[in-house]
Amino acid sequence: MISAQFVLKSVIVFLTASISAEVIHIKQGDLRGFESESRNGTKYFGFLGIPYAAAPVNELRFQAPQPHHGWPGERDATKEGNICPQPALFPGNQSEDCLNLNVYTPKLNSSAKLPVMFLIHGGGFTTGGAKFSKEKYLMDQDVVYVSINYRLGVLVFKFRLQVSSVLETRLFLETKA
């Protein structure tokens, strides 16, 4: 298993990927993102709903995350990914296929080593999601901002009960290489 370093390394690869307008190429395929402005008018780019693991459904439901093998063609990364199932008071598309992240960056084709802010939302492993963040406030700074959706509720606790080692239990958000 690979730790959260996998996600951060993916972000670094993401930032050094070949770029054409708001379309970038990463190992899993092409992503079409969007350009927007922060609250103070700073231009930034967003790529939303990027899968970081295979959908944890059917035989993968209570298993450790498996690698996502990519997609054919260009993936629309202009819309939020699904949030994980949770109480109805949180709006949004809910699905067990929710292992995705959002990346916001002020620069696309840059060799600058920007700091990365990585949000793992709160909610007691029962509520929340990547979409409840306010990237427009952070993009006035020279940072890359990443927010993530992860398993919630019974899906995380059932998975944790089946994991064999303490280390794997603590690192349940990891994916395999």
pLDDT value of residue 67: 87
Q: Kind of pairing, strands 43-51 and 34-37?
A: antiparallel
pLDDT, residue 71, reads 92
93: number of CA atoms within 13 Å, CB side?
9
Cα 95 to Cα 106: distance, rounded to the nearest angstrom: 30
CA-CA distance, 172 to 150, in Å (whole number)?
Answer: 9
- Give the pLDDT score at 166: 44
Per-position b or e across 139-170, b if 16+ CB within 10 A of its CB: beeebbbbbbbbbbbebbeebeeebeeeeeee
Q: What is the pLDDT along the chain (177 residues), one digit of tens a residue?
A: 445 555 555 555 555 444 445 898 888 999 999 999 999 999 999 999 999 888 878 887 777 788 888 999 999 999 988 878 777 666 668 777 888 899 999 988 778 899 999 887 767 666 677 776 688 888 998 899 999 888 777 666 555 555 554 455 445 555 444
Tokens of 169: 């239990």
